[in-house]
Amino acid sequence: MGYTGSDPYVVFLEATVYDAGGNNNGRLDPGETVDLTATLINIGGADLNNLSTTLETSNPRINVIDNSGFFGYLGIDSLKENTADPYVVSASPSTPHGHTVSFDLIATADGGFVDTLTVNLCVGLSVPSDTGYYYAYYSGGIHPQSPVFEWIAIDSTQSANPGISLDLLANQTVTVDLPFTFSYYGQSYTQISICSNGWIAMGSQTDVDWSNTGIPNPDGPPAMVAGLWDDLDPGNTGAPSDIYYYYDETNHRFIVEYFQVEHWPSGDHETFEVIFYDPAYYATPTGDGEIIMQYLVPMQQIYSTIGIENEIEGVGIQYYFDGDYDELAEPVTNEFAIRYTTIPPDYIPGIEEDGYTTPVAKNQLMIYPNITKGRMNIYYTITNPHAHAAIKMYDATGRLVKLFDQLTNHQSPINHITLDASHLPAGIYFVHIETENQRVTEKVILIDYFTLKMKIRGAINSLPLSFMTFSFLTQRLFVV
């Protein structure tokens, strides 16, 4: 059955920044004034005439100088960007890099059409993240959370920090007790498993996976910290090559160093370390521990994985995989550090500034894809791990069509369920999650998949799209 809606329906696809009069880097930076456009698509069943939009935000760091954007005619299955009548916005110089601004885009057209769309825009430069829980900051970055490279040698070539040699050979994993309780993606651990193949996993595990994959991925160990995951051999000829660990009690940190381990098949030596910081002394908004990875030398081979992943292997940060960096990452060079923390780029702990309060933790509901034939992945963050949550799905009339039993004793702040709503008719739905102190709703569109592909394909063929738009469409619309 195809899409049977007889009314127009507009979906926001992307926002584009034009800042030729500023620093011309294609983003809204702190202290900058830019032209901003929206790309909209009409996937409904009727054309729109005289489509006009108004851009609004309550964020005190943002000034919307020109809030009107005229689109005119937007036919069925067509895309349009308001390049002829862009919005003009400016960001306060005090806006932190990586701060996400939410706008309301109010759309009106002939025939009484009115709808409000959500537009999210990042100010300045952000950093790699999973779902907005953990973030990856790199040395030399512009954020306050960016680490400073400080190599802590614990191998047997020195005596200042007497590390303990694990004397590992190829494809071996050993469990080591932590000197403190380390919280990771909301779960507490008192042990870690150190593998010769460049990864560490939380808890006690026996996996020895040497074949790296991307992140997140069911392959490899759960709750993984991939310093440099690939086929490594610390038992190569030429001691003191090995893996060492050391508790720096003075600075409340636990260090694992991979020292001159061979990387198969070239045999080149890799030297890096993973440092776990005691959450009792290094506070984060969520209570989760911080991890710093340090690289004394650059990666010696292209085929490796760097990043972190949660217990259910559905959420993580892929900083690097087989030659490709996250689009917000910086390349690993010699004397390079990456800091994984739950402190957001725009975090201000408990301080109200200019009427804006940065939340202690982010409550989120994300649905991928949100235009689908029925199957969708729902990710939601609950800050209280023992909160009761109810997930409900409503149709456009407000009728309850799906209800999940209350969930209790969550093992991780980031929860994931897969919902199959393919038995429901095409149309607009709302997924709602509610706890004692949290309520959030996201819109979902169910549509016949073949019809949707034809609509998008026709729109793409009729309009020149930026790579970002094309990537957005393929990820959010075609993957179910």
The helix or strand, by DSSP H or E, that contains position 450, with its residue range, turns out to be helix 449-462
Q: What is residue 434's predicted lDDT score, i.e. its pLDDT?
A: 74
| pLDDT in the model for residue 192 | 98
Task: Give the pLDDT of the chain (480 residues) as one tens digit per residue.
Answer: 333 468 898 988 899 999 998 899 999 999 999 999 999 998 888 999 999 999 999 999 999 999 999 999 999 889 999 999 999 999 999 999 999 899 999 999 999 999 999 899 999 999 999 978 999 999 999 999 999 999 999 998 888 999 999 999 999 999 999 999 999 998 999 999 999 999 999 999 999 999 999 999 999 999 999 999 999 999 876 557 899 999 999 999 999 999 999 999 988 999 999 999 999 999 998 899 999 999 999 999 999 999 999 998 989 999 999 999 999 999 999 999 999 999 999 876 543 333 333 333 344 677 777 777 777 877 777 666 566 677 888 777 667 787 765 554 455 566 777 788 888 887 778 888 776 666 677 788 887 655 555 555 555 555 554 444 444 444 434 333
Q: For residue 358, what pLDDT is reported?
A: 32
Nearest to 123 by CA among 39, 60, 195: 60
User: Can you name the residues that pair with 113 across neighbouring β-strands?
Assistant: 109
| Structure token digits, residue 217 | 């991925």
Closest by Cα among 124, 131, 98 to 29 = 124
CA distances from 430 to 267, 336, 387, 407 (A): 54, 44, 22, 19
Residue 224's pLDDT is: 97
Given this model, what pLDDT does residue 96 score? 92
Residue type, 377: N
Under a CB-based contact definition with an 8 Å cutoff, are residues 218 and 193 in contact?
no
- The alpha carbon of 446 is separated from its chain's Cα centroid by a whole number of angstroms, namely 25
- Tokens representing 275 are 């440092």
What is d(CA 231, CA 238) in angstroms, rounded to the nearest whole number?
A: 18
Q: Is the dihedral of CA 257, 259, 263, 268 positive or negative?
A: positive
**Domain over 1-126 is classified CATH 2.60.40.10:** yes
Angle between helix 449-462 and helix 467-476 axes, rounded to 10 deg: 180
Cis-peptide, bond into residue 345, ω within 30° of zero = no
Residue 453: what pLDDT?
A: 55
Q: For residue 230, what are the CA distances in angstroms to 202, 221, 266, 321?
A: 18, 13, 12, 10
Distances from the Cα of 362 to the Cαs of 75, 110, 285, 382, in angstroms?
Answer: 38, 38, 9, 8
| Whole-angstrom distance, CA of residue 403 vs CA of residue 393 | 6
Kindly list the domain boundaries of the chain, sorted by start residue: 1-126, 135-341, 360-447
Residue of 203, 178, 130 whose CA lies nearest to 411: 203
Alpha-carbon torsion (36, 41, 42, 47), positive or negative: positive
The structure tokens listed for 126 are 């952000």
The DSSP output letter for 112 is G
* Token duo for residue 435: 């706890």
Q: Supply the pLDDT for residue 90.
A: 97
CATH architecture of residue range(s) 360-447: Sandwich (2.60)
What is the spatial distance between Cα 259 and Cα 269, in angstroms, rounded to a whole number?
8
Contact 473, 13 (CB under 8 A): yes
Please name which of 20, 14, 70, 68 lies closest in space to residue 38, comparing C-alpha atoms: 14
- DSSP state letter for 404: P
Look up the pTM and report it.
0.75
